[in-house]
Amino acid sequence: MSVNKHLRSFVKRSGRLTNSQKLFFYNKENDLNYFNEKKIINYEELFNNKNKCILDIGFGDGKLLINIAKRFPDINFIGVEVYESGIGSILKDISDLNLKNIKIANIDAIELLKNNIKDKSLQGISLFFPDPWPKKKHFKRRIINNYFIHLVSTKIQINGFIKIATDWSDYANEIINLFDNHKNFVRVNEILYYKERELTKFEKRGIILGHKITELSFKTI
């Protein structure tokens, strides 16, 4: 795939929201933990501090992101998700826990990276269990490809990182090959923030199905 193109890696489905999810999702524009950015993000203004910032792509129900943000209160986290239930759930959790270091956007991560993230400004990016699009004819829809790697390489600081986990072995092998062929990344054993992390909902389901969990960590050079 050309480094100039990227197919949308998700299909918007309208799922059912719980009453609490509806309450927070439909009031998101008035929620201080939600933002709808139209320009380059100024992290200091968004978080009211000068802490480093990590972007979490596709946080699902948000439980893992919440857990990590609680453990590292001096790191800022931007979470992006396209599904309404996930937005509603995490906004409720942030409010209940009074967390000050998470901001949420309901946006395609690729569009956010292209249009709203300043070059070399992120400490890192995490991407847990992206849609594997398991049928071969759909591989072109996988979010991690040459275009994605080139894009994130321009947004992450030197000595920053990208953390990925998947339960599809062929996708893991493809990701390894793609990063191995990119001059700006080197594979490392693990990233501090994700040691002894909790399991995600999708991860638990993959384990029940007998899928092998592959965790991949790369540093920028």
Q: Which amino acids are annotated catalytic?
A: 131
Q: How far apart are CA 20 and CA 58, in angstroms?
A: 20
Burial class (CB in 10 A: 0-12, 13-18, 19+), 46: middle
- Whether 123 contacts 75, CB under 8 Å: yes
Q: Collapsing DSSP states into helix, strand and coil, what is residue 127? A: strand
Residue 56, beta-bridge partner list:
79, 126
Q: How far apart are CA 199 and CA 12, in angstroms?
A: 24
